[in-house]
Amino acid sequence: MVLREKHGPEIDTIISRYAQKRSAVLPVLYIAQDEYGHLTDAAIREVAQILDLPPTDVFEVVGFYGFLAPAGTPKDVVAKLSDAFKQVLTSPEVRDRMVSQGADPAFLGSEDFAKFLVAETPRWEKAVKASGARMD
């Protein structure tokens, strides 16, 4: 485990700041990204092992990026934006580049992404509150 060997004291300091190891996922992922240049499947599993978490708990933190429009944006505009993002994400050049960097690109349309956010928000709200994070 390269991360533990090279960054053990730093990782231990990060973990000690949190009541639960789960809350240290993002800071330890930052160390992994700095070390490896990007987050590979192996790096994510290594972070999970360091934090004694199931790999799925770490993968889901890394797992998605999304685009949001302001509330009230007309549906036809949202549909055009969604179509444009889908075209870019599914283009062979972009997809191959993302895969070469360790990503597993997937597309959710605006309605499915909205459902995903509604389902995930309560869970992450709980995690953020438990971590003690604040906006200062």
User: For residue 135, what pLDDT band results from cuts at 50, 70 and 90?
Assistant: low
Determine the average pLDDT of the residues in 89-104: 83
- For 41-74, how does the pLDDT look when each residue is reduced to its tens digit (9 = 90+)? 889 999 999 999 998 888 878 767 788 899 999 9
Q: Which residues contact 21 (CB under 8 A, 6 or more apart)?
A: 15, 51, 52, 53
DSSP 14: H
Q: Compute CA 54 distance to the chain's CA centroid, rounded to the nearest angstrom.
A: 15
Sign of CA dihedral 45, 19, 61, 33: negative
pLDDT at residue 7 in the model: 95
The answer to whether residues 105 and 89 touch, using CB atoms and an 8 Å cutoff, is yes
pLDDT at residue 62 in the model: 78
- With CA atoms as reference, report the closest residue to 14 among 5, 4, 24, 23: 24
pLDDT at residue 102 in the model: 66
Domain range annotation of the chain? 2-62, 75-131
pLDDT at residue 31 in the model: 94
Determine the average pLDDT of the residues in 19-37: 89
pLDDT at residue 83 in the model: 93
Q: How far apart are the first and last CA of the chain?
A: 35
- With CA atoms as reference, report the closest residue to 52 among 21, 80, 83: 21
Percent above pLDDT 90 for the chain: 43
